Every structure is written in structure tokens, then in C-alpha cells.
Copies of this chain bind each other. A is one copy, B any other.
Amino acid sequence: MDIQVVIADSNHIVRCGLTAILSNFPDIRIVGEAVNEEKLKELVFNFSPRVVLIDFLAPGFSVDTVQELKRISENLRVVAITTEQSGVTIVNALKAGVDSYIKKDCDIHEIVDSVQETGKGSKFFCGQILEAIRRESIDPDEINGLEINCEPVSLSRRELEVIKLIAEGNTNNQIAEKLYLSAHTVNTHRKNIMQKLGVNNTASIVMYAVKSQLVSPNKFLFSPVNSAAG
């Protein structure tokens, strides 16, 4: 029986290349190509493919796309194909529901194998990803086993205020002053925010603030002042 595959990447050349490579194999059938998340969700909803081969880091997609696809189609399996392989990227992809992960510069056989194996229900990782997984001590089965809370993050008004101020570089004491609170309170908000976001450091809070457009990096200027001035 054929493995029905949808290819998702913003780049036309990449989509053509992947389609050309995979079309050579009789057990693989490309049922569609998507340039962005919206089109991809339509395709998955309408055709219920077995496998989506996606570069979730390409413009127009994100790791959240994977999570949403899995909600749309119960039996869908996802192969991620990207140009980078940092530990965080892999971990987040697995959390979001990626089953298999390969790199764009991996061996062509690995691309084909990943789709075939994933279609059969196995996981597949190319050599470079396997190396990264070992180096970073990532356990894909453990992460896949985690139950992700599918409800969207629900932050209170106060928490959103605190997130913005954190992202703008304020300390707990500075936030406390601006919000007329005790530093203890701000600390509690910070703790609750991290819990709701599933993270455990300031860097991730800032990343969340930018990703969810609570702050724009465009308003930050990065130029050292000459200390001679004054």
C-alpha cells in the first residue's frame, strides 16, 4: 500500500527536489506540496496523508505547526527536515510531535528511508541528528512519551505585564517599583510564568515575549556608549 506524503517548505527548489527524489519510489505517493502553514493545514485536513515532510524552520512555518497538524489528523506522522540540528531545536521538535528528523544535507538514501520507515510507524533519524542526539543526551522516546498540555498557554493580565518588563531587561526589583509591588510578588509571577510556559530561565521568557509579539526587538538599540562621554 502506498505511503501518502505531503511536502512542506517555503522554498520552491526544495519542494521540487524532494518531490523528484521521492517520486522515484513506487511505495511513496506525493499528494501535495505546501508553501506555508495555512496551505499545509488545508492539505492535511482534506487529504489525510500518512506522512508530512516539513522544514518547520522555513519562513511561514514554525514548530507549533507540527503540534497543530497532529491535532488535525490523528494518524499523521511527521518527518522534520531542516538545515540545523541544535539540541534545543531537536528537543522542541520532538515535544511538538515530530516522529522522525533528518537534515537537508544528509544522504539521499536517508531522506527516502525516513519517509518509508516513518510511514510504517517507526522513528528515523539521519546520521547527523543521531550524533546530536547522543552529544546532547536526548532521549527521543522519553520526550515523545511526555503528554504535552494541548491547551494554549493562558497568562493573566498581570503576568503579561511582568513578561514584557522582563523582556525589556528589568530585574525583579525594577519591576516591583514600576508595578508598585513587592519583589516577592514579582518573583511569584515569574515562577508562575515559567511554569505556564514550561521553561525555567529568563532567556526563555524573553524568547516567548518576542515569539508572541508582546515586545518587538525593533525598539532595542545595541550600541555601546563611549565611556569617555560626560
Q: Which of A's residues lie within 8 Å of B, judged by CB?
A: 56-57, 61-64, 67, 86-89, 92-93, 95-96, 145-150, 153, 164, 166-169, 171, 195-208, 210-211, 215-226, 228-230
Contacts and interface: CB of A to CB of B under 8 A. Distances in A.
Contacts of A93: 219
Copies of the protein in its oligomer: 2
B229 A147 contact: yes
Contact of A224 (B62, B196, B228): B196
Contact of A88 (B89, B153, B220): B220
A89 B219 CA distance: 6
A214 to B, nearest CB: 11
A222 B88 contact: no
A201 B153 contact: no
B208 A210 contact: no
A208 B222 contact: yes
A210 B218 CA distance: 10
Q: Which of A61, A88, A203, A224 has the most CB of B within 10 A?
A: A203
